[in-house]
Amino acid sequence: MTAVRNLARVNGLDTIRLALAMLVVFGHLGFVVSLPDPESLAFPLNYSVAVFNNSLNGPAAVVCFFVVSGFCIHYPYRNGKELTLVPYFAKRHIRIWIPIGVVVAGAAWINVKMNILGDSVLWSLIAEEIYYLIYPVIRRVNKPSSWAKMIGFAYLISLILVATKPFAQNYPSFGLTGNWIVGFPCWLCGCLLAQNFDRFSAVGRHPSISKMLVWRAGMLLVGCVTSICRFHTPLGYPLTLTLASPLIYFWLRTEILFYLSRPPNPYLERLGMMTYSIYLAHVVSRYLWVEFWGSPPTAFWIRLLYFSWIAGTVTLFYVVAERPSHQLARLCADWLTDRARRNRPGPDVLSVSPAVDPCDRRRAAWK
């Protein structure tokens, strides 16, 4: 029990985030193998291809990212130790905004509009920035026993907002002031998961491989159903994906328990360190291909080359933009933390404690 409670980092999170990022990539760019139009196929192949296509649900993966993010932010502070505001904000903003600036500049260079406030990959990052900003206040006023009540209230406000546009199909349909409200209960579910980590991880019962596969297949099915609702019914993502976040909570809890007893694949964990770069840069990478070589290919071998191009440019973006921003964020946070400790007491310290961020492992493997 002690070993579990003292975990500085929760293994498997990078692998989970890598899988989610690939769902976003496949949702935007199509699968590695170009699949035929389901309407051109006979039963049951037509339904099989349709189900597979709908299972590659990028918006559902983004909502899963919200839950993972809430877990990562609250996990170090779940036991009520100290959070120093200035280093906290410096660390979050530097690591987020430097890569955004690089990708927006690159998109402008090839005349691609990356609308921060609109329906682009950046909308979710703006929502996360808002969550980071208000988290210290939430952590200050919230008691360990009241997370569920806060989530219930956030759900109520979210659903009221969704009801103002009951037929909105895309998740980011509510602008800068509303998108983050719709996703807020999902993010808080991640905070609740972190708050309950010590309790559920100490039980000692870990899911089997077969149970984990059932959960993963079930979550793909949830993504498939919500995608079908989005394109074939009046029920859009703002409603269906928000209502699905409790299922995401239990799925992520099962994943965490699974990796507590089984170490994740180290290669997938290393690739998972590039998740932010994958999420940010894959669309610009696609437009670069179109700029140089024309429309994305359908032939198998050329399509493999196309995805190799995507992987190469994303890796370059990670080396040039994301990894240096993480290193700078850690250096600034460490320097500001030391300075705050020397100057205590100060107004920038709350009574919640600093600890190691489970999603901020040292990137030594990439050096």
Domain ranges of the chain: 2-360
Nearest partner of 132 among 62, 63, 73, 181, judged by Cα: 73
Local structure of 41: helix, strand or coil = coil
Contacts of 97 (CB under 8 A, 6+ apart): none
Most distant CA pair in the chain, distance = 72
pLDDT of residue 344: 62
Which string of b and e fits 250-285 if b means at least 16 CB within 10 Å? ebbbbbbbbbbeeebeeeebbbbbbbbbbbbbbbbb
Ranges 149-153, 247-251, 336-340: which has the least confidence: 336-340
pLDDT of residue 2: 37
| Amino acid letter for position 213 | L
pLDDT of residue 363: 42
Task: State the pLDDT confidence band at 113, using cuts at 50, 70 and 90.
Answer: low
Per-residue pLDDT, averaged over 114-118, amounts to: 51
Per-residue pLDDT, averaged over 77-88, amounts to: 84
Question: Do 61 and 20 contact (CB within 8 A), yes or no?
Answer: yes
pLDDT tens digits, 263-297: 899 999 999 999 999 999 998 898 889 888 888 88
pLDDT tens digits, 156-195: 999 999 999 988 999 999 988 899 999 999 999 999 999 9
